[in-house]
Structure 1
Amino acid sequence: MTAVERTDHRSAEEIGRTERGPRPVPPLGEQRAAADLSHVDTKLANGLRVLAVRKDTVPLVELRLSIPFAGTDPLHPATAEVLAETIITGTARRDRVAIDTELALIGGELSTVVDPERLAVSASALASGLPTLLDVLADLLTEASYADAEVARESARLIERLAIARTQPRTIAREALQRRRYGNHPATFEVPQAEDVAKVDPAGVRQLHADSVLPKNSTMVIVGDIDPEQVVADLERALSGWASDKAATVLPDLPELTGGDVLLVPRPGAVQSQLRLSAQALRRTDPRYAHLQLANLAYGGYFSSRLVENIREDKGYTYSAHSGFEFTGNSATLLVDADTATDVTAAALLETRYELARLGLVPPTADEVESVRQYAIGSLGISTSSQTGLAGQLSALAQAGLGFEWLAGHPERLAAVTAEEVAEAALDFFAPNRFTGVVVGDAETIGRRLQSLGGVTIGEV
């Protein structure tokens, strides 16, 4: 035996105990009050809603622009993706190199992403470089050129990425779930077809920009080492040329989710299965949202949740199981997801349903509720402690019509939730018959076992 080898390895349980019993867990510190940050929430003359927050921990600034970007044209998803890829490749005043150079000189970055609901622009820079960042952004919003060569180049790259994405199990499962939940609603078209991208031309992209990149209904969040009042004045000047009588197109309301069979979507030869379940939830503005948030955490919202303890830690059916919220327009849903080995797919679905039922029938104890409460409050504090995190949180809230006050007041709402209120939310929202969803996997191997559970049908969405 070498000098570094040992035979006295101790288990985690042994490490956590002393001769006098289990080691005591250190007490939680007192909950700090939310920082009273200087902020402004207003609308510009062009209709753009602006939330500007001073958080001067570092001499940087974070910007998030969200533009509603729904459309019903069959080519809209493809054209929107090409627009998002090419909007930052040049304007009437700047080519791609000039844009990159100006951003680099201010320590800046700028990126865009689009989904069926909105076009999102994320940017950051040194606080001293904010005027330059706003000038570049205004140029992109009003004078993006979509040069023929740039559109062709980015379209070709996008087609290659789509070909890869459509082979990925998680992409397949996501598309199947969206169609199962919402049918042909525009929200389901998250990934365009490669053949549609090939049909997109520069003229179509320019027209979509003119029709849809609009300030009314849009929101901008700026967080950083700034004077909020001054930033609003700077934005009025910088974006004075970005104006229209029309408003950005908001995604139509999603249909209400009702429970139903889980659909098995065949994927021949798959060695893993993707399990996705979903049910209607509550919006953040609902008085019971905090109750449901804690119930969800107890079910599957963090590592010590019941679902994770069951199908990951105890039975080893999956490496990762999770439940959480999705917010789209005026709708909120619960989503449960887990990827499992093929041979334990049916068992994993059985246990997932079991934990849904158990949450309502054997509700979280007072200790469980206190644990998830501390997790919720603590994780919210961590997520908003940086400029990037705070900007992201405020941008999501702004899209729902909320603002800084809701965020600052949420820890207090969480602190006031009782164990009885969590139990009621669990019973009302986690009943297995409220959920529908999909399982993507090898139907020949797992179909019979899944159908034996009941509430599972085999077919294509």
Structure 2
Amino acid sequence: MQLELSWNVGGAGDPAGKEGMTSLCVDWLGEGTKSLDKTALENKKADLGARIGIGAGSESASLSLAVVTSRLEPALTLVAELLTEPGLRPADLERLRGQAKASVVQARGNADGAAARAWSAAFWGRGHPYGHVVEERTLDAVLATDCAKVVKQLAPEGAELLVVGDVTVEQLTPLFDRAFAAWKGKAPARVRVGPPRGLKGTMFFVDIPGAEQSKVIVGHGGPSRDAPGYAATTVMSQVFGQGLSSRLVQNLRERNGYTYGASAGFAYRRFGSALMVQSSIRTDATGKALREINKEWSGMTTTPPTDEELRRERDGGLRAFPARFATNAALLRSVGELLAYRLPLDTWQRWPAELRAVDGAAAAKAVRGRLLPTQQVVVAGDRAKVLPELQALAQEGVFGKDGLVIVDADGRVVK
């Protein structure tokens, strides 16, 4: 069986100057208990045949447990010990801090990582809860006392629990009551996040000297996950850029050989989303590929999805649908999605009919409402080889009229 506890505790709530705090602190919690150091904890999990994971993203923190039902009670006792008697050893915190700082250095040094960091700043804005950019200095600013406050927020009142497996509520309740009797406190409520407040500019460039490929991200803001027309929006985006048969991949990979792969889709958050085209492009084809992306973007409006494209994506979605519930882990993710976005509990029951109902008119409406005529573009690559092409695109206003901005891999404008 598998279970997941989650809390409204995420990196979006990190204070300015301590970006990365929540993730670092929650990772520290998972390093041991007062009576079990990291090695002893891993041995204990191995003895139980249990997998216990704990971590934090931008919007929430979660603890997961996978174990055979017969070992559930001792596994719950171990989870309760992690939450009520955390070890929080200083040496573990410093080791995790060093690993996190190394990850920052690694991300800055490659096109994929640098583009992702720059996109956060350019689209959301560094001061926005979704736009936080973690740096070495922000990790160094995190104190053990900060982490003690974060850990205290992982409390029972306000937490959400999902359980999947061969166990009933009647069997589970007394096990939880015994294991978590000493667990007290109130977790934070969900905090609403406002719209993006990113950098002024249309195109943003990060220099990665010697890069063999350019990482390209093209996008703009999108709807909330619970907005009307989700099925049509999903099918439209699949026609545009999801899978080998999509228009984007057929153009960039099959016809032109600019890239091995590309994708387009909506990256949903609890509050809002971004439609993002992403691809790693041959350095010498960066400018050409961006022109083709713009061409396909515009082409979705002038040539809406055809009946054949819609049939292909509808049928594919229906065939893949059972996989959402094929394993405990898949079922946990599917139900977790309902909770994360506050969707009705019958969402997946209605999904096949809603998918079948997506016709040409619905897809065309999704194109008009969800694909905007101007986008933001982030490119990370070798300045000496790609900057002239990007300057030409900016001068022509291919993606918009706010010009080209040079930023570093932390999303700061380079003077």
Give the structure-1-normalised TM-score: 0.79
Q: Does structure 1 residue 441 correspond to structure 2 residue 371? A: no
Q: Distance in 1 between matches of 2:170 and 2:276?
A: 39
| Partner of residue 67, structure 1 | 7
Q: Does structure 1 residue 157 correspond to structure 2 residue 85? A: no
Contact 1:312 1:318 in 2 (8 A): yes
Contact 1:257 1:279 in 2 (8 A): no
Q: Does structure 1 residue 111 correspond to structure 2 residue 57? A: no
Q: Distance in 1 between matches of 2:46 and 2:95?
A: 23
Q: CA deviation at 1:216?
A: 4.4
Q: CA deviation at 1:371?
A: 0.6
Contact 1:268 1:441 in 2 (8 A): yes
Contact 1:116 1:188 in 2 (8 A): no
Q: CA deviation at 1:181?
A: 0.8
Q: CA deviation at 1:198?
A: 3.2
Secondary structure, counterpart of 1:280 in structure 2: strand
Q: Which string of whole-angstrom CA distances, capped at 9 and with x for unpartnered residues, describes residues 271-321 of structure 1? A: 211111122222332221111000000000222111011101111111110
- Pairwise mapping of residues 80-91 of structure 1 onto structure 2 (< 5 A)? 80-91=22-33
Q: Which string of whole-angstrom CA distances, capped at 9 and with x for unpartnered residues, describes residues 420-452 of structure 1? A: 10111112212332x223112223322222232
> RMSD of the alignment, in Å?
2.5
Identical-pair percentage: 26
Q: CA deviation at 1:238?
A: 3.5
Give unpaired runs (5+ residues) of structure 2: none
Q: Does structure 1 residue 78 correspond to structure 2 residue 20? A: yes
- Distance change >3 Å, CA 216–CA 281, structure 1 → 2: farther
Q: Distance in 2 between matches of 1:181 and 1:98?
A: 44
Q: Does structure 1 residue 185 correspond to structure 2 residue 132? A: no
Contact 2:53 2:63 in 1 (8 A): yes
Contact 1:71 1:249 in 2 (8 A): no
Q: Does structure 1 residue 208 correspond to structure 2 residue 150? A: yes
- Distance change >3 Å, CA 259–CA 215, structure 1 → 2: farther
Give unpaired runs (5+ residues) of structure 1: 1-60
Q: Distance in 1 between matches of 2:16 and 2:358?
A: 46
| Partner of residue 360, structure 1 | 301
| Partner of residue 377, structure 1 | 318
Contact 1:64 1:392 in 2 (8 A): no
- Distance change >3 Å, CA 281–CA 80, structure 1 → 2: same
Contact 1:298 1:364 in 2 (8 A): yes
Q: Distance in 1 between matches of 2:175 and 2:200?
A: 50
Aligned with 1:397 (options 338, 342, 345): 338
Q: CA deviation at 1:372?
A: 0.5
- Pairwise mapping of residues 29-428 of structure 1 onto structure 2 (< 5 A)? 61-69=1-9, 70-183=12-125, 184-189=127-132, 192-210=134-152, 212-232=153-173, 234-245=175-186, 247-248=188-189, 250=191, 252-255=193-196, 261-402=202-343, 404-428=345-369
Q: Provide the aligned length of Structure 1 versus Structure 2.
A: 398
Counterpart amino acid of 1:457? L
Q: Distance in 2 between matches of 1:259 and 1:458?
A: 9
| Partner of residue 37, structure 1 | none
Q: Distance in 2 between matches of 1:249 and 1:369?
A: 37
Q: Distance in 1 between matches of 2:315 and 2:361?
A: 17
Contact 1:268 1:443 in 2 (8 A): yes
Contact 1:324 1:334 in 2 (8 A): yes
| Partner of residue 391, structure 2 | 451
Q: Which string of whole-angstrom CA distances, capped at 9 and with x for unpartnered residues, describes residues 189-222 of structure 1? A: 25x2223333434333223212x32344432222
* Moved beyond 4 Å, runs of 4+: 256-260
- Distance change >3 Å, CA 216–CA 451, structure 1 → 2: farther
